[in-house]
A and B are shown apart, each in its own frame.
Chain A
Amino acid sequence: MQPTRRYWAVATLALALAALAVVLERPLVLAGAALVGAWLVAAQLRFTWSLRRLDAALAVDHELVPARVPTGTPVQALLSVSLDEPTDLAVTVRADPPVPATGSTRADRETTIPPGETAATVALTTTFPVAGRFRFDPPELVAADRFGLLTETVRRGPPADLSVVVRSPSTLHVGEGGDRIAATYGEHDSGRRGSGLEPASVREYVAGDAARRIDWKATARLGRPQTREYDTETELSTLLLLDHRAATGAGPPGESKLAYLREVALAFVDAAAADNDPLGCYAVGDEGLTVRRDPSADTRTYHRVRDAIETLTPTPTTDGAVTPAAGDGSGGGGIAAGSRTTAAGDGTLRSGGGTSPAAARRAVARLEDDRFGRTLRPFFDAQDRYVQRVSDDPLYRAARIARRGGATARRMVLLTDDSDRAGVRDAVRAARHGDATVVVFLAPTVLYEPGGLADLDDAYDRYRSFETFRRELARLDRVDAYEVAPGDRLAALLEHGGTRRRRARQ
């Protein structure tokens, strides 16, 4: 119990009487001090008994509606307190939202149970500007005695958990050239045979096979000993590399490139958690790595990766704003203007350097020291700058670090956009190692730019350029590449493309 100033005033009164008795040498005054002191103790006991009765008669209901919301969406915390019998205490009920909650005042958060009443309700509406998991602590009950001498604060009732997620896109399309992919994320063929539960194939018996693996029915059918093989159950270790550089901020609020890429990344998290597969996550901003979690299959890692992905925002540009659209491969601007990729007339793509670093080095080595060689050498010198650019490219650097940090990962999932195609190509190549596969999810810039579909002919051409780039990546060994786009905008663009082709045939 917490004494109030009034309690201390009465206690001081008792002490003053005792002091007066000493000063006046009048033991009679001590009797007054004893009575006042006894009265204070009795008031304390009375408060304790009332508090216990209140606690026994109390029922607290604490609920959040809804329990999972996007950022910025109002959440209603419903807090109802009821008593089996009226109490002689003055009771204040106070909801306790977490710190990031906004939009409520202290007065909104509390209510009192009037004397003689047995119920009170708090309906608190708050919003959360940031994503994450939050907990409304059990509500506080502040009880005060009718004399104003004592108060007590207790927490009763259950906590309420809230999951705030970033605003997610409504029509997510993941596919190739406008076609959706049907496979669910996370399912995989182990490619290995051995012991397991899923029958894979039957083959002829060879010396050394265990007798218990002989398939007697197949042996009887084919007349020769046959052995049944099973798919080996393996775990697929996955490393997510999520790009959240300024260029991924292009798009309307909640429907930016990053928002769509995030949905894909979260699907991988869910799949990994469901299959108990190891999962890691690296995130790269304009200045370098912002998240680094190496693959692990424990529940805490899944939660941390999910939290990290949900709270990522596009890196602000130097002027503090998020780049609305960094431009696609056929445009300019963005964070790596020097590495722009151009769409050649024949549909192939060439990076600003025109060739890979390795090819450039080989070409320089082959040049002879004649006039022809001296004339060409300065052009190949440009590859020095290219090498410098590559090493400065955050995505490329992140891919190399991720390859080392996630060396155990059999699959790296790269989620980025096409604003820096040369950089993406370099990053994909850097990500490949051993027998690991790379899955690339690309957000075509043309489908995210505000007004990007204003000129449908131009937009379709840019989408074709993107599709060519995607296919180029997909042709790389052990690389799959998919597009991640707003379904409605892509459908509109493809419909226009179909119309244009039909018109061209006529």
Chain B
Amino acid sequence: MTAAQGSRGPTGRRWLTVTDPRRRPLGFVGACAAAVAFATQGPPVGGVLGVAFLVAWVVAPAPYAVAFGTVALAALATFTSMAPFVVGLAGVGALAVLSDALRTGDRATDLRAVAAFVLTAVVLLAVVGIASTATEATWLLALALVAAGATLAYGTHRYERVTMGLVTEDDP
């Protein structure tokens, strides 16, 4: 696998793209796992989508690669019946890819960030799961997910403001 082009961020670092897969073993394993999940759905479409996901992981930021994989998986599921094992493998692969994209090299903070990511993902999926027991309407499930995600994001924002002492009477 070759080095990929990516946009430069404000710090000069290529943003979330894989310049050298050997330096990102977790992401590499996750991307391969997802590609295998695609391939199990049978050649040639599954194989092609698996390779396309690997390429996306290399050249695009990790969230975009996962978004691509999700859409590809949904498209594949319309043509073939998909075993829960395949969906689980793809999901674990996506978790690994996104977890890897949160790492910066500071081991202690990396571990906390990955744990926070997994926990948040579990919470959001649980919200969708709980909502699905009450309704089968997809738009209601989507609404519950967006509301939960927005609440968590805003709560984190407030947490940061308070802990940094940036909340005053004039600027709440």
Are B9 and A148 within 8 A (Cβ)?
Answer: yes
**In the complex, chain A residues whose CB is within 8 Å of the CB of B112:** 45-46, 49
* Other A-B pairs beyond A36-B66, A146-B9, 18, CB < 8 Å: A4-B10, A10-B61, A14-B149, A19-B142, A29-B74, A31-B125, A32-B69, A33-B149, A35-B70, A35-B91, A35-B95, A38-B121, A41-B120, A41-B149, A41-B152, A45-B113, A45-B156, A148-B10
Are A44 and B153 within 8 A (Cβ)?
Answer: yes
Are A22 and B138 within 8 A (Cβ)?
Answer: yes
Q: In the complex, identify which listed stretch (A50-58, A190-198, A206-214, A407-415) lies at the interface while the others stay far away.
A: A50-58
B11 at the A interface (CB under 8 A): yes
Contact of A51 among B94, B149, B152, B164 (CB under 8 A): B164
CB distance from B116 to the nearest CB of A (A): 5
Are B15 and A34 within 8 A (Cβ)?
Answer: no
A158 at the B interface (CB under 8 A): no
**In the complex, chain A residues whose CB is within 8 Å of the CB of B157:** 1, 44
Q: Most chain-B CB neighbours within 10 Å: which of A31, A47, A52?
A: A31
Are B91 and A31 within 8 A (Cβ)?
Answer: yes
Report the separation of the CA atoms of residues A78 and B7 in the bound assembly, to the nearest whole angstrom: 36
Q: Binary interface profile of B, 83-127, with partner A (CB < 8 Å = 1, else 0)?
A: 000010001001100100110111001001110110011011100
Interface SS majority for chain B: helix
Are A10 and B121 within 8 A (Cβ)?
Answer: no
Report the separation of the CA atoms of residues A1 and B161 in the bound assembly, to the nearest whole angstrom: 7
Q: Closest residue to A33 on the B side, CB-wise? A: B145
Q: Closest residue to A28 on the B side, CB-wise? A: B74
Task: Name A residues whose Cβ lies closer than 8 Å to a Cβ of B.
Answer: 1, 4, 6, 10-11, 13-22, 24-53, 55, 88, 90, 115, 144, 146-148, 151-152, 154
Report the separation of the CA atoms of residues A197 and B67 in the bound assembly, to the nearest whole angstrom: 89
Q: A28-B87, A152-B160 are in contact. Are A18 and B66 (CB under 8 A)?
A: no
Are A144 and B160 within 8 A (Cβ)?
Answer: no
CB distance from A42 to the nearest CB of B (A): 4
Are B98 and A30 within 8 A (Cβ)?
Answer: no
Report the separation of the CA atoms of residues A183 and B167 in the bound assembly, to the nearest whole angstrom: 56
CB distance from A419 to the nearest CB of B (A): 52
Interface SS majority for chain A: helix
B159 at the A interface (CB under 8 A): yes
Between A and B, 5 residue pairs with Cβ closer than 8 Å are A11-B153, A35-B66, A38-B98, A42-B116, A144-B10
**From residue 3 to 43 of chain B, which have CB atoms closer than 8 A to chain A?**
9-11, 13, 15-16
Q: Binary interface profile of B, 131-172, with partner A (CB < 8 Å = 1, else 0)?
A: 010000011011001100100110011011101101000000
CB distance from B171 to the nearest CB of A (A): 12
Are A13 and B164 within 8 A (Cβ)?
Answer: no
Report the separation of the CA atoms of residues A146 and B153 in the bound assembly, to the nearest whole angstrom: 19
**In the complex, chain B residues whose CB is within 8 Å of the CB of A55:** 164
Report the separation of the CA atoms of residues A437 and B42 in the bound assembly, to the nearest whole angstrom: 110
Are B15 and A31 within 8 A (Cβ)?
Answer: no
Contact of B102 among A16, A17, A27, A42 (CB under 8 A): A42
CB distance from A498 to the nearest CB of B (A): 68
**In the complex, chain A residues whose CB is within 8 Å of the CB of B156:** 41, 44-45, 48
Q: A42-B102, A152-B160 are in contact. Are A18 and B113 (CB under 8 A)?
A: no
Q: Most chain-B CB neighbours within 10 Å: which of A14, A34, A53, A151?
A: A34
Are A90 and B10 within 8 A (Cβ)?
Answer: yes
Report the separation of the CA atoms of residues A44 and B160 in the bound assembly, to the nearest whole angstrom: 9
Q: Closest residue to A112 on the B side, CB-wise? A: B11
**In the complex, chain A residues whose CB is within 8 Å of the CB of B45:** none
Are A30 and B141 within 8 A (Cβ)?
Answer: yes
Contact of A30 among B109, B113, B128, B161 (CB under 8 A): B128
Report the separation of the CA atoms of residues A33 and B157 in the bound assembly, to the nearest whole angstrom: 20
Are A18 and B142 within 8 A (Cβ)?
Answer: yes
Are B94 and A35 within 8 A (Cβ)?
Answer: yes
Report the separation of the CA atoms of residues A48 and B166 in the bound assembly, to the nearest whole angstrom: 13
Q: Most chain-A CB neighbours within 10 Å: which of B9, B70, B128?
A: B70
B58 at the A interface (CB under 8 A): no
Q: Closest residue to A10 on the B side, CB-wise? A: B63
Report the separation of the CA atoms of residues A25 and B74 in the bound assembly, to the nearest whole angstrom: 10
Are A88 and B160 within 8 A (Cβ)?
Answer: no
Q: Closest residue to A15 on the B side, CB-wise? A: B146
Report the separation of the CA atoms of residues A29 and B105 in the bound assembly, to the nearest whole angstrom: 31
Are B145 and A37 within 8 A (Cβ)?
Answer: yes
**In the complex, chain A residues whose CB is within 8 Å of the CB of B66:** 32, 35-36, 39
Contact of A21 among B63, B138, B159 (CB under 8 A): B138
CB distance from B58 to the nearest CB of A (A): 17
Q: A42-B102, A45-B113, A88-B106 are in contact. Are A27 and B163 (CB under 8 A)?
A: no
Report the separation of the CA atoms of residues A22 and B160 in the bound assembly, to the nearest whole angstrom: 33
Are B146 and A18 within 8 A (Cβ)?
Answer: yes
Q: Most chain-B CB neighbours within 10 Å: which of A31, A42, A48, A151?
A: A42
Are B164 and A154 within 8 A (Cβ)?
Answer: yes
Report the separation of the CA atoms of residues A59 and B9 in the bound assembly, to the nearest whole angstrom: 27
Are B109 and A20 within 8 A (Cβ)?
Answer: no
Report the separation of the CA atoms of residues A92 and B116 in the bound assembly, to the nearest whole angstrom: 27
Are A154 and B166 within 8 A (Cβ)?
Answer: yes
Report the separation of the CA atoms of residues A18 and B70 in the bound assembly, to the nearest whole angstrom: 11
**In the complex, chain A residues whose CB is within 8 Å of the CB of B48:** none
Q: Closest residue to A148 on the B side, CB-wise? A: B9
Are B67 and A36 within 8 A (Cβ)?
Answer: yes
CB distance from A358 to the nearest CB of B (A): 62
B130 at the A interface (CB under 8 A): no
